Structure 1
Amino acid sequence: MPVRNTATARQLRLGAELRKLREQAGVSSTEAGRLLGTSQAQISNIEASRVGVSGDRVRAMARNYDCTDAAFIEALAEMAGERKRGWWEEYRETLPESLLALSEVEHHATALRVAQAITVPGLLQTPEHARTIFREFVPSLPPHAVEYRVSHRIKRQVILFRDEPPRYTAIIHEAALRMRFGGPETAAAQLAHLLSMSERPNVTVIAIPFTATSFPVSGHGVDYFHGAVPQLDTVNIDAAHGGQLIDQTASLERFRTMLNRMEEVALNPTKSRDLMHRIAKDI
């Protein structure tokens, strides 16, 4: 296969997982090449995502590395079979690579859990709320860059309206619900949209009130993307300097635990909607 100019987030993840399987099996890249009937250089290229690999070869590599997790192997083989790039590619020349990677991982997630303490989660934002957020970036973004980001954010939201949409759970602190980004009119419209989205069967919105006696938090917004199998889960840390994708096993477990604790201290969906209605009346 020809050498790639750029690799997508999923292609990079596939290569990383194949390397992890090989290393866990204690197989050198030279031996892996011999077992597969190819060279050490080809194995290195596959693991670095410089070249593609077929689903059949992924299955063969997994067998060579004594992996017996059939669901995991098939999930990797399916990733190998992806050839068509997604809608986010139209933004490749205008947005940071981290936003393209976020879109790709999000698009393929089987379920999503997010937590935000200051802003409404991106998939639940109105265009004007998003525009206000992007206008406040430091250093400032030029107007056209703001609009590119708003457009990209709204297109990401399509996953919640698919024929078979992923399950989406948003954990939002009361502070984020009370922030009046863009002024009263924009804030009121954002709350109304949030209430409307919370009624969708695939969307759960729960709020952590100021009265909560605990609040497990990492300091940044957290997006947890469930993969086809748990080994392919991914976390995105929404920091001021940009997003960061994390897939280390220990880190995934830590963020799962943190989100579980957040859900435990949050109000149930009905009480969360009641809180949002009360806040809306105050605007």
Structure 2
Amino acid sequence: MASSTAPTARRRRLGAELRKLRERAGITATEAARLLGGNQARISNIEAGRYGVSAERVRTLSRHYACADGALVNALAAMTGDRRRGWWEEYREILPTELLDLAELEHHGTALRTSHTSGLPGLLQTTDHAREVIRQAVPALPPPDVEHRLSFRIKRQSVVFREQPAPYRSVVHEAALRMLFGGPAVAKQQLTHLLAMSERDNVTIRIIPFAAGGFPGTGQPVSYIHGPVPQLDTVQLDQAHGIALLDGEAELGEYREILDRLEYLALDATESRDLVHALARSL
């Protein structure tokens, strides 16, 4: 059982889910350790994501915890199998861990949903647009850090371009389309890129026009990352102090409803393309 000084988001989530199963079964960490033939520290380290765990032991613990959800157990067991380092690990000493966690979650996500009101989705940004957005960070980033974050953001976009891309649905407010980051030429290129992306089979972009009026939520960007089973879904929020990851059952339900209501307010895909095209022509 390998230890790690920098547990990944995936390993931490696996440990957290095993802890939930144990607590629902009313079994203490000491009792769980006895069932595995170890000590409490081992269980604590597994549940904190500091130690890896084999698929066999995940299944053994699940049986002891009386988990009858076969799909969940299979999904948890599958989270132990990939020992390869993801491309995001190249940035571990360069960028905040929370950004690496986001890239890892997106990479393993089975589907992605996002909503944006004052900015455009990072997965749909052009290089020039993204650079201008990153330059607006407070406190200001030195030029090398801007370029590191830029290359990282562009690499994240592989999830929608790879051989088996994740289905991606995004709701964008008209206000975000009218933000002229980098000036009219960069903005027009960005809108043209959105149009091209919207033609991909796995990408759906829908626009909420100003005429729709009010909308639910606080207006902060939201990413909903679907796991292999609903219990392993994750919500990612961009906040002033950094990225927040949520996976509580009530929280997931709340943000699913918010995204559903935003989609209800949005134009359909064809009408959305027409609006983006009109705005691009006006620049």
Tell me the TM-score normalized by structure 2: 0.98
Q: CA deviation at 1:38?
A: 1.9
Is 1:36–2:43 an aligned residue pair? no
Q: CA deviation at 1:217?
A: 2.3
**Count of matched residue positions in the alignment of Structure 1 and Structure 2:** 283
Q: After superposition, what is the alpha-carbon deviation per residue over 1:59-113, rounded to whole angstroms, capped at 9, x for unaligned?
A: 0101100101001001000111221120000011111111000000000000000
> What is residue 171 of structure 1 aligned with on the other side?
171
> What is residue 60 of structure 2 aligned with on the other side?
60
- SS of corresponding position for 1:218: coil
> What is residue 251 of structure 2 aligned with on the other side?
251
For structure 2, the 5+ residue unaligned runs are none
Q: After superposition, what is the alpha-carbon deviation per residue over 1:106-140, rounded to whole angstroms, capped at 9, x for unaligned?
A: 00000000000011100000011000011111110
What pairs up with 1:114-129 in 2 under 5 angstroms? 114-129=114-129
Matches of 2:268 and 2:219 in 1, distance apart? 23
The answer to whether the Cα contact below 8 Å between 2:206 and 2:269 also exists between their aligned partners in 1 is: yes
Matches of 1:259 and 1:218 in 2, distance apart? 12
The answer to whether the Cα contact below 8 Å between 1:214 and 1:265 also exists between their aligned partners in 2 is: no
For structure 1, the 5+ residue unaligned runs are none
The answer to whether the Cα contact below 8 Å between 2:116 and 2:219 also exists between their aligned partners in 1 is: no
Moved more, 34-43 or 119-128: 34-43
What pairs up with 1:14-29 in 2 under 5 angstroms? 14-29=14-29
Q: After superposition, what is the alpha-carbon deviation per residue over 1:169-215, rounded to whole angstroms, capped at 9, x for unaligned?
A: 01000000111111000000000000000000000000000000331
> What is residue 88 of structure 2 aligned with on the other side?
88
Is 1:240–2:240 an aligned residue pair? yes
Q: Percent identity?
A: 58
The answer to whether the Cα contact below 8 Å between 2:216 and 2:262 also exists between their aligned partners in 1 is: yes
Q: Give the CA RMSD over aligned residues.
A: 0.9
What pairs up with 1:43-192 in 2 under 5 angstroms? 43-192=43-192
> What is residue 210 of structure 1 aligned with on the other side?
210
Matches of 2:131 and 2:193 in 1, distance apart? 15
- SS of corresponding position for 1:52: coil
AA at the equivalent of 2:107:
H
The answer to whether the Cα contact below 8 Å between 1:12 and 1:49 also exists between their aligned partners in 2 is: yes
> What is residue 261 of structure 1 aligned with on the other side?
261
AA at the equivalent of 2:21:
L
Q: CA deviation at 1:240?
A: 2.8
AA at the equivalent of 1:139:
P
Moved over 3 A (4+): none
The answer to whether the Cα contact below 8 Å between 2:171 and 2:263 also exists between their aligned partners in 1 is: yes
